[in-house]
């Protein structure tokens, strides 16, 4: 019998970020789409980007599809948690980054609230019990602060956006519904690492995989 082909390593998270940003930025969010339509279009896009790692594709699908199905709610959360001065003059790719980060953080918080409600209903205290957040509700793209900072450096966004992203992360984390520790260190790393002088051509910076080139760096 044929030996199953072993899958290679997952592509760097930076590359996955770029692939997702290309898709989310180019998606027509004014039209009405089903989950199947979004998923099929995303998988076609990831194939064109040369992404074949099945687990990475599954993780990205679990982020992008539900995000685009409830993009209006996520936009409301962005507006609620982002400073007004940063909201003015946002570029499309910046909106996409804010949407992805906000969606993942809010979904994680919602899962924690649901878990607490289930524990309370069962009469459990101090988090003891079998109820745990599902793995797909934990941040994936936004979980790696270094990769997020690298994405922001890649596009050469100004300090105002970096600080705004930092503030948005802290604002969502601080909400009482979170029930988890505040990741101040991680959020500050985004702001500090994202506003450095690095450019996308610096040594050690991964480049995008095959397919259409990523949007040019922003001045």
- Average pLDDT for the chain: 79
Least confident of 16-25, 34-43, 133-142: 133-142
**What are the pLDDT digits (tens) for 79-134?**
999 999 999 989 999 999 999 999 999 999 888 878 887 777 776 555 444 444 44
Integer angstrom CA distances of residue 194 from 95, 149, 214 = 16, 4, 18
Q: Residue 97 and residue 95: Cα distance in Å, rounded? A: 5
| Spatial separation of the C-alpha atoms in residues 218 and 152, rounded to whole Å | 10
Residues 6+ apart with CB under 8 A from 162: 152, 190, 191, 194, 195
Residue 128: the pLDDT is: 45
CB under 8 Å to 205, separation ≥6 — which residues?
14, 150, 154, 198, 199
What does the alpha-carbon distance between residue 174 and residue 182 come to, in Å, rounded to a whole number? 6
pLDDT of residue 119: 75
Residues 34-49 have a mean pLDDT of 97
Q: Is the pTM of this model over 0.95?
A: no
Secondary structure letter of residue 200 according to DSSP: T
Q: Distance between CA 131 and CA 129 in Å, rounded?
A: 6
- Tens of pLDDT, residue by residue over 160-170, are 999 999 999 99
How confident is residue 137, by pLDDT bands cut at 50, 70 and 90?
confident
Residue 21's pLDDT is 98
86 to 81, 82, 98, 191: CA distances (angstroms):
11, 7, 11, 14
Give 135's DSSP letter.
Answer: G
Within 8 A by CB and 6+ apart from 116, the residues are 179
Q: Using CA atoms, how far apart are residues 42 and 151, in angstroms rounded to an integer?
A: 20
């Amino acid at each position: 019998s044929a030996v199953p082909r072993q899958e290679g390593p997952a592509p760097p998270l930076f590359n996955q970020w770029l692939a997702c940003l290309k898709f989310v930025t180019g998606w027509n969010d004014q039209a009405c789409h089903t989950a199947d339509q979004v998923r099929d279009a995303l998988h076609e896009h990831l194939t064109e980007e040369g992404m074949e790692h099945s687990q990475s594709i599954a993780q990205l699908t679990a982020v992008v599809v539900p995000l685009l199905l409830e993009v209006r709610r996520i936009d409301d959360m962005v507006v609620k948690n982002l400073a007004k001065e940063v909201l003015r003059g946002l570029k499309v790719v910046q909106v996409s980054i804010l949407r992805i980060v906000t969606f993942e953080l809010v979904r994680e918080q919602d899962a924690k609230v649901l878990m607490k409600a289930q524990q309370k209903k069962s009469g459990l205290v101090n988090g003891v019990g079998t109820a745990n957040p599902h793995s797909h509700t934990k941040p994936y793209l936004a979980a790696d602060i270094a990769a997020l900072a690298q994405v922001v450096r890649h596009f050469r966004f100004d300090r105002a956006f970096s600080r705004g992203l930092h503030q948005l992360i802290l604002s969502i984390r601080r909400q009482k519904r979170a029930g988890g520790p505040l990741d101040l260190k991680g959020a500050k790393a985004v702001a500090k690492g994202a506003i450095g002088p690095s450019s996308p051509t610096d040594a050690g910076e991964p480049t995008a995989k095959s397919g259409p080139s990523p949007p040019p760096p922003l001045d």
